[in-house]
A and B are shown apart, each in its own frame.
Chain A
Amino acid sequence: MEERNNTTTPATEAKKCSCGWGAFVVGLVVALILGWWVLPNLMKETKKQPIAFSHVEHVQNQGMTCEQCHFVRADGSFSGTPTTAQCAECHFTVLGSNPEEARFVREYVQTGREIKSEWLVYQKQPDNVFFSHALHFGPLAELRGPKETAAFCSKCHLNVAETDVPPVYTENRLSGYSENTMLMWGCERCHAEHMAMGNTNASNACFTCHK
């Protein structure tokens, strides 16, 4: 111990120190790069929707309403994204010049392949969640036009109404869930409030949302 103390001069100490801080900084930078970019990107997997569906074309150019494809069924359940059969009500044959449409007609309508089961749901929820669109639609009846509807729906969903190509779907490789999946606190933001969205039934009791 004594010997070592003797050999350690202030100069070498300072040198070691600066080298050590360098190592610290290198470690910090490497970790920050890993933690901010490399690992998150490694865990993310981006996927493309099976068809580059254009909401702009359907809503703005063709004047369709949201409810023509996304509607509440008579039993109160929500249709979600349309099935191939629903799409084929118009697209039984190629209507426009978009190559994606032609591909859709060729690969799905003509073969009977189901687009609904291949479509990636940005807000995919686990089996344990009961979500009723109808029960959240209370104020929707008063909304007018796609703009207001889109503004309302995008409280939870990505606002796709004005997109020409579907947004990129990002999935966490580890959990298998979409980056956009709303977590429980997101639901509770409203459900914990007594008069959330003007509805007094929005309790945050477990069974309100779980099955």
Chain B
Amino acid sequence: MDRRGFLKFAAGGTVGLVASPIIWNTLYDAVYWTQNWGWIPRLKKGESEYIPTVSKLCPSGTGFVVRTVAGTPVRTIGDKNNPVTHGAMTALAAAEAELRVSPARLKTPLRRSPDGAYVAITWTEAETLLKQKLQEAGSSVAAVSGDPTSSINEVLTSILNQRGSSDFYFMPDEEQPAAVAWEAMGGQGRLGYDMENSDCILAVGAPVLESWGVVAANRSAFNRTHPVAGEPTQKLLYAGALQNNTAAGADLWLPMKPGTDMALLLGVAHLLIKAGKQGFAAGLANFASFAAAYTPEKVSGITGVPVARLEAAAKALAEAKKPLVIAGSALGAGGSAGPVMVAVAINMLLGSVNREGGLVDMPFPVSVVAHATEYRETMRKRFVNYTQAVAAGKTKAPALLLVYAANPLYSLPADSGMKETLSKAGYSIAVASFMSETCEACDLVLPAALGMEAFDDVQTPYGSGRVTYALARPVAKPFAGARSAGELFIALAQELDLELGVKDMPELLYKHAYALGAPFRAMMDEGRVFTAKTALPASPLFYNWEAIRSAASARGAEGDIQVAPVVVLGMGTAQTAIPPFATKVVTDYQLKGKYSVAQMNSATAAKLKVNAGDHIRLVAGNNVEITVVAAIFEGILPDTVSLVAGLGHTAFDQFSKGKGSNVLALTSVCREPGTGLPVWGLAGVKAARA
């Protein structure tokens, strides 16, 4: 065939192709290509189910409805039928369906090999190892739990008790100092707060709308008392070093220097006594004369709160029908008992104890597992005292250390002795859901199911004014190789022939519900939540002015610049780190790239000669040095910088790792005078441009 023939062949071919449907059909099919992005995940289809349960990751036990599609959780939505949280969510609970499948999630048991690397092992191997290590350890076993609301703790205490060890601890939390304070003032039950029914709340140091107490319940109460575009039925006064989220919702902000809560509260007490609020109890006269030294001018000098605002706060409390005073710490752990004592005293002055909208003397959660330690007893023990004693060699290091649902290596100050305790312990086991700093330091890591994947419970969290009981029910299969921690510990006890009195988690939960008179069936089947107003007979409270006096003798912070820590739930907790879906909630005044951001007002910035965006070096009293980025924000006291907590993770995943600095690194453990409580001393820092 010659050239011309070929061209004709080609022409014929072209005509033929044009006359056949292939080109047109292919062009027509191009419409499909607007939809074909093979490298972008496709959506799954299937039936949606909405199953109510409660969050075990959010410290406030948020009640939510988990939406599953074809069995996989995709959303968590506030549960409007939950009588505790009324559908209110937190940024953490809202991110829980995504946290369930986050890259930091532990998928399989891991054992540390002699070269230091982790080796994935099977559950059978893990359980054998667990049993063997526990048997070898004898009575030299210690455990710490970061989830005080769970009845799984009872199984752990029972195992430890039967092995002959009493070293079971809760992680330091908000309740431990409060329990000390309440007991010092004569309280016999558990301290509770009926925030919902109060018409005027003064929160000193306690960020009630962000991290203190049952946050979701607090927020829902805030919602109900603040109608849209209407007149609020509750006043909220907040004292803290900066205008945080709680201050944004408060009617009055009292700018208070970090660590001066005692002085502020005593100043308020003094003003109230002067205004005739003198609820009688033993020790009133002594307390009144002690508080009298705290004149508004003196208090203003110590705390930085303008006199007018101090007086306005006292006036609002005096005029309110159901005032309530709450003291707490900004960090949520490592707080002092002293401020809570004065807060209790003020509530006594105002007649706000065992009254609607006041302090409530509540029963403590009761243990139902055989040989378990009572909640109240565990609450009295201090983990940091133990770790510091082990670190100092005063107490024998445990042959086995078990860390459950906690990340102490991250969430305790550097001098807490945790690091030393972990390295001195014969063997260390972490039972956790995410690869935390503590997991990375343990010899054996066991992946625990989340609350939405296993049976668990939320017993009345601290901050509640009612007895509440909610069940966490498995709405989905545990992710990858995770297993229910409760079932794991129960199986372990059975392996060791220990007596628990319960054979599995549902039975344990049933016993709890039965003890409370809660409708177990409805809770199990429909996700109902039990609440009861069970106030105990009024405790013989008295103004323990001596305890207050010694607590008030605590040294104030030193250093040029004070650090005000801010806790936001969008940053997750020490166990979860920053949830992948919450990184965008982290603001540019909290984190900038790799650096934490220190907010300061323009006066402070001028004093330090820094501009917004400058890098500054903060050197703490314990010689820890961090570099942060400066941001200007006028809603903060002079000579104070705020740093958000929850940054500076070295473990977890790309969403948390290597971002900013851990504010706890700047703190060191001190002892509160009188109570001897280990408190996180926020010593001042020296600041200079980097």
A and B interact: yes
Contacts of B33 in A (CB 8 A): 175
The residues of B that contact A27 with a CB separation of less than 8 Å are 8-16
Name the residue of chain B whose CB is nearest to the CB of A39.
Answer: B22
Q: How far is the CB of A121 from chain B (nearest CB, A)?
A: 9
Contact (A79, B47) CB under 8 Å given A20-B4, A184-B31: yes
Q: Do the beta carbons of A176 and B36 come within 8 Å of each other?
A: yes
Q: Whole-angstrom distance from the CB of B315 to the nearest CB of chain A?
A: 53
Please judge, given known A-B contacts A16-B4, A23-B8, A23-B12, whether A34 and B20 are in contact too, CB under 8 Å.
yes
Question: Counting CB contacts under 8 A, is A21 at the interface?
Answer: yes
- Chain A, interface size: which category? 35 or more
Rounded to whole Å, the gap between the CB of B196 and the closest CB of chain A is: 33
CB of A31 within 8 A of CB of B14, answer yes
By a CB distance below 8 angstroms, the chain A residues around B19 are 31-32, 35
| A192: interface (CB < 8 Å) | no
B39 on the A face (CB < 8 A): no
* CB atoms of B20 and A31 under 8 A apart: yes
- Scan B28-41; emit 1 where CB is below 8 A from any A CB, else 0: 01011101100000
Q: Is the CB of A127 within 8 A of B21?
A: no
B1 touches A32 (CB 8 A): no
Residue B11 contacts which of A24, A73, A174 (CB distance < 8 angstroms)? A24
| Contacts known (A35-B17, A73-B47); A23 close to B22, Cβ less than 8 A | no
CA A205 to CA B29, docked complex, whole Å: 23
Contacts of B32 in A (CB 8 A): 126, 172, 175-177
- Contact B35 A24, beta carbon cutoff 8 Å: no
The answer to whether B29 and A174 have CB atoms under 8 Å apart is: yes
B587 proximal to A (CB < 8 A): no
* Majority SS at the chain B contact face: helix
**B42 CB, nearest partner CB in chain A, Å:** 6
CB-nearest residue of chain A relative to B45?
A80
Verify if A19 is at the interface (C-beta below 8 Å from B).
yes
Given A127-B42, A175-B33: A36 touches B21 (CB 8 Å cut-off):
yes
CB–CB A20/B8 < 8 A: yes
Chain A 143-186, CB-CB to B under 8 Å as 1, else 0, gives 00000000000000000000000000000101111000001100
With most chain B CB atoms within 10 A of its CB, the pick from A25, A35, A75, A126 is A35
Residues of B within 8 A of A184 (CB): 31
Residues on B with C-beta less than 8 A from A51 are none
Give the distance in Å from the alpha carbon of A21 to the alpha carbon of B12 in the complex. Answer: 9
Q: Which residue of A lies closest to B10 (CB)?
A: A27
**In the complex, A69→B538 CA distance in Å?**
62
Q: Tell me the bound Cα distance from A32 to B13 in angstroms.
A: 8
B124 in contact (CB, < 8 A) = no
Contact of B48 among A29, A31, A75, A183 (CB under 8 A): A75
A64 at the interface (CB under 8 A from B): no
Which one of B5, B16, B22, B46 lies within 8 Å of A40 (CB-CB)?
B22
Chain A 5-37 interface mask (CB, 8 Å, partner B; 1/0):
000000000001001110111111111101110
A75 to B5, CA, bound (A): 68
Q: How far is the CB of B193 from chain A (nearest CB, A)?
A: 39
Distance in angstroms from B367 CB to nearest chain A CB is: 39
Q: Which B residues touch A80, using CB under 8 A?
A: 45
Known contacts A19-B5, A20-B5, A25-B12; A34 and B22 CB within 8 A of each other: yes
Measured between C-beta atoms, what is the minimum distance from B22 to chain A in Å? 4
Contact of B35 among A31, A43, A77, A128 (CB under 8 A): A128
The answer to whether A23 and B14 touch across the interface, beta carbons within 8 angstroms, is no
One of B11, B17, B46 near A34 (C-beta < 8 A): B17
Bound Cα distance A126, B8 (Å): 43
Is A127 a contact of B35 with CB atoms below 8 Å?
yes
Is B43 on the interface with A (CB-CB < 8 A)?
A: yes
Please pick, from A30, A32, A36, A174, the residue contacting B26 in the complex, using a CB distance under 8 A: A174
Q: Which residue of B lies closest to A42 (CB)?
A: B22
**A40-B25, A127-B35 known; A23 and B1 CB under 8 Å?**
yes
CB neighbours (8 Å) of B2 from chain A are 16
The CA of A21 and the CA of B17, in the complex, are separated in Å by 17
CB–CB A31/B15 < 8 A: yes
Select B16's contact among A32, A73, A183, beta carbons within 8 Å. A32
Are B29 and A31 closer than 8 Å at their CB atoms?
no
B16: A residues at CB distance < 8 A = 27-32, 34-35
Q: Mark A178-209, 1 if CB is under 8 A from B, else 0.
A: 00000110000000000000000000000000
Complex Cα distance, B9 from A31, in Å, reads: 10
The answer to the question of B23 belonging to the interface, with a C-beta cut-off of 8 Å to chain A, is yes
Question: A21 vs B15: C-alpha distance in the bound complex, in angstroms?
Answer: 13
Determine if A23 and B17 form an interchain contact, defined as CB atoms under 8 angstroms apart. Answer: no
Find out whether the CB atom of A26 lies under 8 angstroms from the CB atom of B22: no
CB neighbors of B among A67-85 (8 A)? 73, 75, 77, 79-80
CB pair A35–B31 under 8 Å, yes or no, is no
Docked Cα-Cα span, A28 to B29, in Å, equals: 24
Q: Complex Cα distance A151/B14, Å?
A: 42
* Contact present for A31 and B13 (CB under 8 Å): yes
Residue numbers in B under 8 Å from A175 (CB-CB): 29, 32-33, 36
Give chain A residues whose Cβ lies under 8 Å from the Cβ of B36.
175-176
* Complexed CA–CA distance, A30 and B10 (Å): 10
CA distance A134 to B5 in the complex (A): 62
Mask, B310-349, CB within 8 Å of A = 1, is 0000000000000000000000000000000000000000
Give a binary string over A73-104; 1 marks a CB under 8 Å from any B CB, 0 the rest: 10101011000000000000000000000000
Contact assessment for A28 and B12 in the assembled complex, using a CB-CB cutoff below 8 Å: yes
Query: Cα distance A9–B523 when bound, in Å?
Result: 103
| B residues near A31, Cβ cutoff 8 Å | 12-17, 19-20
CA distance A81 to B605 in the complex (A): 66
In the assembled complex, how far is the CB of residue A81 from the closest CB belonging to chain B, in whole angstroms? 11
B17 contact set on A, CB distance < 8 A: 31, 34-35
Instruction: Tell me if A26 and B35 are in contact (CB < 8 A).
Output: no
CB distance from A172 to the nearest CB of B (A): 6
Q: How far is B46's CA from A79's CA once the two chains are assembled, in angstroms?
A: 8
Within 8 A of B (CB), among A100-153: 116, 126-128
CA distance A174 to B5 in the complex (A): 34
Q: List 18 A-B contacts (CB under 8 A).
A: A16-B5, A23-B8, A24-B9, A25-B12, A27-B11, A27-B13, A27-B15, A31-B13, A31-B19, A31-B20, A34-B16, A34-B22, A35-B20, A35-B21, A43-B26, A73-B47, A175-B33, A177-B32
A-B pairs, 3 with minimum CB distance: A35-B20, A31-B16, A27-B12
Spell out B's residues near A (CB within 8 Å): 1-2, 4-6, 8-17, 19-23, 25-26, 29, 31-33, 35-36, 42-43, 45-48
Given contacts A23-B9, A27-B8, A80-B45, 13 further A-B contacts (CB under 8 A): A23-B6, A23-B12, A24-B8, A24-B9, A27-B11, A27-B15, A28-B12, A31-B12, A32-B16, A35-B19, A73-B47, A126-B35, A128-B35
